[in-house]
Structure 1
Amino acid sequence: MNRLLLRVVCLLAVLAGVNYVVWRWLDSVNWSAWWIAVPLVIAETYSVIDTFFFALTMWRVKVRNGPEAPAEGTVDVFITTYDEPIDLVLTTARAAKAIRYPHSTWILDDGDRAEMRAAAEREGLGYVTRSEDWVDKPRHAKAGNLNNALFQTGGEFLLILDADQIPEPQILDNTLGYFADPRVALVQTPQFFSNVDDADPLGNQAPLFYGPIQQGKDGWNAAFFCGSNAVLRRDALMELGIVGYVRDVERTVRVSLRASERMLAKAQRSSRSDPETSRLIAEIRSHVEEASARLRAGDSVGEVTYRLQQSVDGVSRSVVRGDIAAMEEDLRAIAALPVQADSELGAFVVDEVALDRLAETDLSPLAAIESVQRIADTLAVDRPGQAQPVMPMATISVTEDMATAMQLHAAGWRSVYHHELLATGLAPEDLGTMLGQRLRWAQGTLQVMLRDNPLVKRGLSGGQRIMYFATMWSYLSGFASVVYLAAPVVYLLTGVMPVTAWSVDFFARFIPYFVLSQLMFLVAARGLRTWRGQQYSLALFPLWIRACWTAAANVWFGRSLGFVVTPKERAGRAPIPWRQIWPQLTAIVVLVIAAIVGVLRVIAGTADGVGTLVNTVWVIYDLVVLSIIPRAALYRGPAAHAARKDSPLR
């Protein structure tokens, strides 16, 4: 009955939203004030699409009662850490060691701390840190830490825990049975925080996501990996790493061979006066063309590149003449040849634009041969720019969890969301830390959207595409929020209307849509408190906008995002992050001023009463939403650490 009711409300909310936004575009946009009217109707269209995505997620909510098969298989428990306090890590490690199901417990210390190693040895725990192979190579943050450990351990399954996530003894007993299905690669359980009370204004608990949303995504076989409190199948990850490795190498080889062919063709034309040099270039060109043909025919990349390297080396050794001065100039261009390892992407990457420029450069015939030889040398299949050639955990984003889950789903693997509290962690206790954490999540999600958009990703089902894109889409809300804050201010201060009239048609369409969309959240939440999440979707608009432009700058222009581990302990009283919240505080002041001016204009007889009332109510709503920011800024931690016993998941 609850599922039927939810579907009915979802359908009505979407229909009401479509009815409203179509009417807005066709009949109510005030084109004479297009500069505010058009942004507003675009923002409303964004919100209706968001409503559709949420309704579609809720349409197939899957509530699991637990695995039917018994727990089987060997397990490694990974506890990832970088610079967290050793006592905190050991508390988690001792709880992990006490898990009832037989397993091995490993501390993955990315900080390579001698005291952490010694503590692990005293406790009888496994200890893994980066090998020497990682020196001066891209580290890939947490993904690199996990990838390193995957090649130093051997369990069939991996339970991944953050340094502060204390597991329950039954966590493996209650999750491993799902892997009786040989295509299940991931079982995710909720994240819940023991240091958060009901008064928490930071919104650390995410009951809507770790509940209805994950259950809805589970119905579409799109439940996410959330970085911790999850069990993964090693074979699935290793398959992912090998497939990704082969694809990256094949792409690199194809791009490089095309550039080599263009360079050699141009060099051959310029060497017609020198028959011997022309002959050598023609010989190398034939080897490159043969390599391209063999690759298209499906020959092994390793065999193709090895034979090409040998052939080019043989020809190059016979080249003994050339203009030394010209060579020096040409070799400067060769030294900058754009074949390198990308520290963010985690792959062997060829800069295609730079290769195109090199291919069009007027290099001497000898330099062209040297350039092709250098390209051939860089095509070694062992990925010399990386610490290890195979990277099972995705490294295209700072949120390696979501990216890895999407790769698994695209490869045909299945995931499970098990809605039972089986581990508890520590949440940020000050606004600055929380904002840093949310920014990293948003940046990583947007990195995935820009680098590997699920809407066009091969292997995903239609439902999976939408489930992934819906999460990415939600981080674009910052732009819509600015419009929702600005529109009532514009009207109250100037009288400029974004709609043609505050008519019966407007209210007859807007009110049902607004009420039904809120009812959809209430029914989906099944009594859970979700208002805080709705507040922050609007109140953090500067953060979401910053995430968009920084992620785009990283993907398109290579600007670093950095990676900061969320602090697990408070170091004294945290300062108020004024630089991060001044836009919200400014918006609060402007909204209050606009409401006062609007009322005064009505009293003076220079403003419409209905329009002023509508926009004043709008301003009050915005103020209620934004009020969470000053409350969070003044927050000084939970009153008591008693939230865990009141969790609705227990």
Structure 2
Amino acid sequence: MALLSPLFAALAGAAVIIGVRLTVLPLLNPNRWYWRTLLLGTATLLSWRYVAWRFTETLVPLDWTPDAVVSWGFATLEALTVLSSSIAFVILSRVRERTAEADEHVGWWSPGEAPSVDIFITTYNEPLEILERTIIGAKAVRFPKLGVFVLDDGRRDWLRQACERHSVGYIARSDNAHAKAGNINHALAQRALNPDRPDFVAILDADFIPHVDFIDRTVALFYDQGVGLVQTPQHFFNPDPIQHNLGISAGYPDEQRHFFDNVQSARDAWGIAICCGTSSVMRVHAIQQIGLLPTQSVTEDFLLTLKLAENGWQTVYLNEALTEGLAPEGLKEYIVQRGRWCLGLMQIARNCYNPFGSHRLGLMHRISVIDSVLYWLTTFPFRLASLICPLLYWWLGITIMNASLVDITRYYIPYYVMVLVALNWLSKGLFIPIVNDTAQLIAAWPICRAAALGLLTRGPHRFSVTAKGGDRTRIVVQWSLMRPFLILFGLTVGGLIVPLNSDFVFNTSLAAGDGVAIVLFWTVYNVLVLLVAIAACIERPRYNRPQRQVLEPITLTIGDDLHRGWLVNLGPEGARISGPFGLSVGATGNLTIPAIGDVEARVLASTRDGYRLKFSPSIEQRAQIIEKLHTARALPGADRGDIVRIIRELARALNR
């Protein structure tokens, strides 16, 4: 009881923060800079209060002992993560939304003098089923002067023929120099020779489908003659591997939502929004002025932003869902993609735009580079260190910190709760501790390796293109990714069992008391994170992709019988319906789909509430289905977190 009174007193700070979150924050507008600044400023102050306490009261005396090296090393890494988050909080303190601006300036050109726009679809090795969606979507875009070109770095005859069938342009080159940037530069040079050369060029990856108003909305912002590039968010019509493998896509948005929904709008408010490649539109004159797309980094998009800024051109951000794409479907592809982003950023900071170097970048763009470098250099090493440090205590008796439970409650808990409250208030609940930590942990080691490679070596560096498509209909256990987590899980559980049930405790000063309680809680949390990471390494099948949920009334005609029901999922290859019963597998008929008409369909299998159908659509019907699914103005996927649903689905995933 003697301990409980000061412990409850220490919890008062966290209780106040939670109370404010429940009673006050729902009444405030998160887009107002003063509320954002107050909340994020408070989080920053509590963060540095915690860091000051860590360095003044919790560390082992400085020496060359293992205890001192680990204790000071981990605290330094914590301080660097706080520095990184503090810079991020400054950036997040303002936000700019340009929807009203785009509304005002749609059609800013003189009547009959609309600018010419090309859509470039970049491709290397994607299959036709992926490219076809993008081509059909690009052709459906509404704009007076529009050209569509497929930039094929794979030099494939079948793709040339497909482009001819769809009446779109086809551009290929003799080599693959400088990868995607070189591909775009070659196409820009080719199009500059033509009489109908474009004023603006939109960039789409092979798997990104534009909505019908993509060009209308983005070109509206080029009324400002200082704008060199307009970036829009990337949305995904399929769950990423972590969402899918854990079964949480309905309650947990894709991992990039915070960046595109919150960070980019905040960066735009400071004039440091960045190009993210696909779903962007460029002013051709600006790109020509800087010597076309830069090629010194594998992330040419961020480098392009800095090159434009150095030459006086703005990159602006329109936060509207104007395209939708295919997220990496496999865990390895997901990791490869993020490793490439990290490597490219380090190349930029080391070789092109050192934030402390002698170039013409302004202060905010230099801070932008520092913010990005610190994110990659601290977030993922910290996640690994958080798993390893408790093991050093349990197995080697190494002290990480000397602190009482009351002090941890007084200094750490308010800081942690305040950061979570602030970020979740701004981001619609996107920060779920165990899930976010798992997403970071999955890619932590490859990203740490890429960061070291990019920062310490000049290059050139090889990288892999994110693979798309392929057979995803089987359960695949990614043993190479899971194995380290299994080992860490075994050591962590062993660290709980062996020392606490034997004399195998090295650090007798912490063997009983607050120290062991702190590490015990830390260890239990790590066990949960590792369990979720292990579950995420089991790739679940993806059937009938890319079907999407479409709830509409339908009629299935088989012979003379009419079966009415509901369309549940729809894709170019087939659908799932509910309502009809008594159908025979293999029966054929016509499914009447609103706005498309009768599509020939065969009953493939029964489900709990209906049937799965296989289509035999005409070429025109297939195109109509793709347009229906992907080009309408809509928001694909979840855009906010649902903690109750996540917990339910995680429990189900761990019990499989």
Q: Establish whether residue 620 from structure 1 lines up as the match of residue 656 from structure 2.
A: no
Secondary structure, counterpart of 1:627 in structure 2 = helix
Structure-2 separation of matches of 1:228 and 1:448: 19
Partner amino acid for 1:179? F
Correspondence for 1:630? 534
Which structure would you say has the larger Rg? 1
Correspondence for 1:44? 78
Q: Establish whether residue 62 from structure 1 lines up as the match of residue 82 from structure 2.
A: no
Q: Establish whether residue 550 from structure 1 lines up as the match of residue 456 from structure 2.
A: no
Correspondence for 1:26? 56
Correspondence for 1:214? 264
Shift of 1:622: 2.2
Secondary structure, counterpart of 2:215 in structure 1 = coil
Structure-2 separation of matches of 1:494 and 1:44: 22
Hey, which of these two has a bigger chunk of helix by percent?
A: 1
Correspondence for 1:148? 186
- More deviation in 157-166 or 610-619? 610-619
Correspondence for 2:644? none
Shift of 1:612: 1.6
Q: Deviations over 1:405-458 (max 9, x none)?
A: 121122221122111111111112221221222222222222212212452253
Secondary structure, counterpart of 1:117 in structure 2 = helix
Q: Deviations over 1:526-575 (max 9, x none)?
A: 3446654443224432122121233246x43x353233342234366474
1:70/1:397 CA distance change after superposition, 3 Å: same
Answer yes or no: is the 8 Å Cα contact 2:342–2:447 preserved in 1. Answer: yes
Decide which of 273, 290, 294 is 1:223's aligned counterpart: 273
Structure-1 separation of matches of 2:79 and 2:431: 26
1:574/1:430 CA distance change after superposition, 3 Å: farther
User: Unmatched 5+ residue regions in structure 2?
Assistant: 1-28, 108-113, 192-196, 247-252, 550-633, 641-656
Q: Deviations over 1:465-497 (max 9, x none)?
A: 222321222111333233222222222334432
Correspondence for 1:348? none
Partner amino acid for 2:128? I
Decide which of 131, 145, 150 is 1:89's aligned counterpart: 131
Decide which of 108, 117, 140 is 2:160's aligned counterpart: 117
1:470/1:424 CA distance change after superposition, 3 Å: same
Answer yes or no: is the 8 Å Cα contact 2:340–2:463 preserved in 1. Answer: no
Shift of 1:582: 3.0
Answer yes or no: is the 8 Å Cα contact 1:158–1:233 preserved in 2. Answer: yes
Correspondence for 2:390? 488
List aligned pairs for 1:553-632, cutoff 5 A. Answer: 555-556=457-458, 558=459, 560-570=461-471, 573=474, 575-600=476-501, 607-632=511-536
Partner amino acid for 2:36? L
Answer yes or no: is the 8 Å Cα contact 1:187–1:416 preserved in 2. Answer: yes
1:435/1:526 CA distance change after superposition, 3 Å: same
Structure-2 separation of matches of 1:449 and 1:204: 27
Partner amino acid for 1:493? W
Structure-1 separation of matches of 2:275 and 2:469: 21
Shift of 1:646: 5.6
List aligned pairs for 1:93-108, cutoff 5 A. Answer: 93-102=135-144, 103-108=146-151
Structure-2 separation of matches of 1:647 and 1:431: 19
Partner amino acid for 2:480? R
Correspondence for 1:536? 439
Q: Deviations over 1:583-607 (max 9, x none)?
A: 3332222211112234336999961
1:503/1:119 CA distance change after superposition, 3 Å: closer
Q: Establish whether residue 413 from structure 1 lines up as the match of residue 463 from structure 2.
A: no
Answer yes or no: is the 8 Å Cα contact 1:204–1:428 preserved in 2. Answer: no
Answer yes or no: is the 8 Å Cα contact 1:412–1:459 preserved in 2. Answer: no
Correspondence for 1:400? 300
Structure-1 separation of matches of 2:407 and 2:255: 39
Decide which of 231, 234, 239 is 2:289's aligned counterpart: 239
Correspondence for 2:583? none
Decide which of 344, 364, 367 is 1:444's aligned counterpart: 344
Partner amino acid for 1:5? W
Structure-2 separation of matches of 1:625 and 1:12: 28
Secondary structure, counterpart of 2:230 in structure 1 = strand
Structure-2 separation of matches of 1:603 and 1:571: 47
List aligned pairs for 1:203-352, cutoff 5 A. Answer: 204-241=254-291
Shift of 1:167: 0.8
1:225/1:568 CA distance change after superposition, 3 Å: farther
Shift of 1:86: 2.1
Q: Establish whether residue 642 from structure 1 lines up as the match of residue 545 from structure 2.
A: no
Correspondence for 1:345? none
Shift of 1:78: 0.3
Q: Deviations over 1:126-177 (max 9, x none)?
A: 11111x5x5xxx7011111001001011211111111111111111111111
Secondary structure, counterpart of 2:399 in structure 1 = coil
Shift of 1:49: 0.9
Q: Establish whether residue 188 from structure 1 lines up as the match of residue 91 from structure 2.
A: no
Q: Which has the higher contact order (CA 8 A, sep 6+)?
A: 1
Structure-1 separation of matches of 2:428 and 2:254: 19
Decide which of 444, 449, 463 is 2:364's aligned counterpart: 463
Correspondence for 1:376? none
Partner amino acid for 1:487? C
Structure-2 separation of matches of 1:229 and 1:631: 32
Taking only the aligned residue pairs, the percentage that are identical comes to: 30
Structure-2 separation of matches of 1:25 and 1:159: 50
Answer yes or no: is the 8 Å Cα contact 1:196–1:638 preserved in 2. Answer: no
Answer yes or no: is the 8 Å Cα contact 2:140–2:212 preserved in 1. Answer: yes
Correspondence for 1:375? none
Structure-2 separation of matches of 1:200 and 1:621: 23
Shift of 1:638: 5.0
Answer yes or no: is the 8 Å Cα contact 1:193–1:205 preserved in 2. Answer: no
1:529/1:488 CA distance change after superposition, 3 Å: closer
Partner amino acid for 1:100? R
Correspondence for 1:314? none
User: Unmatched 5+ residue regions in structure 1?
Assistant: 242-391
Correspondence for 1:511? 413
- More deviation in 639-648 or 620-629? 639-648
Q: Deviations over 1:184-242 (max 9, x none)?
A: 1111111111122894248754110111111111111111111101111111111111x
Correspondence for 2:428? 526
With normalisation by structure 2, the TM-score equals 0.70
Partner amino acid for 1:73? P
Decide which of 27, 31, 41 is 1:11's aligned counterpart: 41
With normalisation by structure 1, the TM-score equals 0.71
Answer yes or no: is the 8 Å Cα contact 1:92–1:165 preserved in 2. Answer: yes
Correspondence for 2:595? none
Shift of 1:91: 2.2
Partner amino acid for 1:543? P
Secondary structure, counterpart of 2:501 in structure 1 = helix
1:649/1:608 CA distance change after superposition, 3 Å: closer
Answer yes or no: is the 8 Å Cα contact 1:186–1:225 preserved in 2. Answer: yes
Q: What is the Cα-based RMSD across aligned positions, in Å?
A: 2.7
Correspondence for 1:200? 244
* Matched residues, number: 493
Q: Deviations over 1:385-407 (max 9, x none)?
A: xxxxxxx1121111111111121
Correspondence for 2:399? 497
Structure-1 separation of matches of 2:138 and 2:639: 20
